[in-house]
Amino acid sequence: MGSPRTLARPARTGHGGHPRLAGDDLRVARLAAMPNLPVPFPILATPLVRRVAWHIRQIGGQLDRRFFLSLAEGIVAIVVVAAILITLFEKPWTFESFFDSFNWGIATVLGQGESSFVTSPAGRVMSWLLILFGVGMLGMITGALVAMVIDFLLKEGQGLGAAGHKEHIVVCGWNSTARDLIAELRGDDYQQKIVVLAIADKNPAGAGVYFVRGDATDTDDLARAGIADASAALVFPADGSDESDMHSILIIMAIKSAAPRVRVVAEVNNPRNEPHFRRADVDELLVTSQIASHLLARSALYPGLSAIVTDIVSGGEGSELYRITLPDEFIGQSIDTVASRLRSEHRATLLSVNRGGRAFVNPPTDFVLQLGDDAVVVAESLGTLAPLKLHDLNTVPQSASVVPSA
């Protein structure tokens, strides 16, 4: 067996240095999630509550505080005038009587005033006027709340809200690849939440996916997509031009500036632009044209290979690629024992063991698992296996590559 190959962070390579299909890398992005910290009131951490709170903050920042101050001053002035008149008409002219009249006026505006407090015709007229004033104030407040709800619903429908999710996947940009990826993620075992950030008039992904209308190079739009709380971001070019690749690089730079810990996977149009993506600190690259050409070439040499690869890297029925955290009881066991146990206990076929930035495909029989190792397997479902978490990727391989067998 040859020496293990050190894994390059941005791209996966196969035998001969050719890029390989990154199905398991996309699955890592799908399964990437960090455990949430417990909160005293879990309902306050729900996406809907956070969206409403974001809208309230936005509205609060646009309100004119002087208007509300003037409104409060006007209410107090009206009640003071009414209290003075009630005191003159019915009560002794003392400060205590005036204060009682003022307190009654406030209670009447709020709908809690006692009708027996006034007995004269003038007092009852003042009482009616204060009641009407209170009803008007209630109507104005109700109207404001209704307007706030309508504004919330309209902005949510137009993609002008904030996602409110945590540990989700942010899809930046939209094309046919993104559309197929959304369908793939919807059928995944882990059921990761998805947010689409794109320049579009309506949600291009349809129901079940939160839509944020905006430019992924804009930090404010990224913040509305919840990039700081996301587990991964997938960047797609709008078309097949070099300009779209350059725009994708700007998106990557914006994401890395706003949320350095977020794992970024990008689709590339032109292979010559790969160095620019690497300098932008992208975590994974996917050159779809190269993947298609290499897969077609291998299928020409080995008939039926394309169907097998497509089945493995796609969701739905059949087996799929998963990157998993190996159970603790596997530590210290040989590769043959681990492969046998994965097959018998989990119906999973072992493809690769990843250790310290290196991937071991088809290692020798004396290969023994160590603490921190993870694996790539083919299985129909995760079952009881644990998917590799995003925080594990900081210390273990980020992608798998072929290690020449003996």
Question: pLDDT, tens digit, for every residue of 234-259?
Answer: 999 998 899 999 999 999 999 999 99
- Within a domain: residue 180? yes
Gap between the Cα atoms of 106 and 119, Å rounded: 18
Q: Sort strands 320-325 and 374-379 into parallel, antiparallel or unpaired.
A: antiparallel
pLDDT at 128 over 50: yes
Contact call for residues 245 and 268 (beta carbons, < 8 A) = yes
CATH of the domain at 260: 3.40.50.720
Which helix (H) or strand (E) segment holds residue 129: the answer is helix 121-157
Same domain membership, residue 170 and residue 278: yes
Q: How far apart are CA 271 and CA 15, in angstroms?
A: 18
* Predicted pLDDT of residue 7: 39
Mean pLDDT of the chain: 78
Q: Given a cut of 80, is residue 121 above it in pLDDT?
A: yes
Per the CB < 8 A criterion, the answer to whether 199 and 221 are in contact is no
Q: Which long-range contacts (C-beta less than 8 Å, at least 24 apart) are formed by 239-242?
A: 239/175, 240/269, 241/269, 242/269, 242/270, 242/273
Q: Which two tokens stand for residue 202?
A: 């309506």
Do residues 278 and 303 both lie within one domain?
no
**Cβ neighbours of residue 52 closer than 8 Å, sequence gap 6 or more:** 152
From the CB of residue 231, how many other CB atoms can be counted at a distance below 10 Å? 25
Model pLDDT for residues 331-356, shown as the tens digit of each residue: 999 999 999 999 998 888 898 898 88
Answer yes or no: are the C-beta atoms of 263 and 392 closer than 8 Å: no
Kindly state the helix (H) or strand (E) to which residue 247 belongs, with its residue range.
Answer: helix 242-258
Q: Tell me if 175 sits within 8 A of 237, measured CB to CB.
A: yes
Confidence tier at 368 by pLDDT (50, 70, 90): very high
Environment class of residue 331 by beta-carbon count within 10 Å: exposed (0-12), middle (13-18) or buried (19+)?
Answer: middle
At which of 157, 190, 210 does a domain end? 157
**43: in domain:** no
Kindly report the number of other CB atoms within 10 A of residue 330's CB atom: 15
Would the pLDDT of 317 be above 70?
no
Domain end: 94, 125, 157, which one? 157
Burial class (CB in 10 A: 0-12, 13-18, 19+), 84: middle
**Whole-prediction pTM:** 0.60
Query: How many Å apart are CA 193 and CA 168, to the nearest integer?
Result: 5
What per-residue confidence (pLDDT) applies to 382? 79
Residue 226: pLDDT over 80:
yes
State the total domains in the chain.
Answer: 3
**Looking at the structure, do residues 153 and 170 belong to the same domain, yes or no?**
no
Q: Tell me how crowded residue 260 is: count the other CB atoms within 10 A of its CB.
A: 9
What backbone phi and psi angles, to 5 degrees, belong to 94?
-130, 160
d(CA 33, CA 36): 9
Residue 316 domain-assigned (yes or no): yes
DSSP 8-state code for residue 393: G
Residues in the chain: 406
DSSP assignment letter at 38: P
Domain span holding position 271:
32-36+166-282
Kindly state the tokens that stand for 68.
């509300």
Considering the domain architecture, whether residues 65 and 135 belong to the same structural domain is answered as: yes
- Over residues 45-64, the mean pLDDT reads 70
Q: Are residues 214 and 149 in the same domain?
A: no
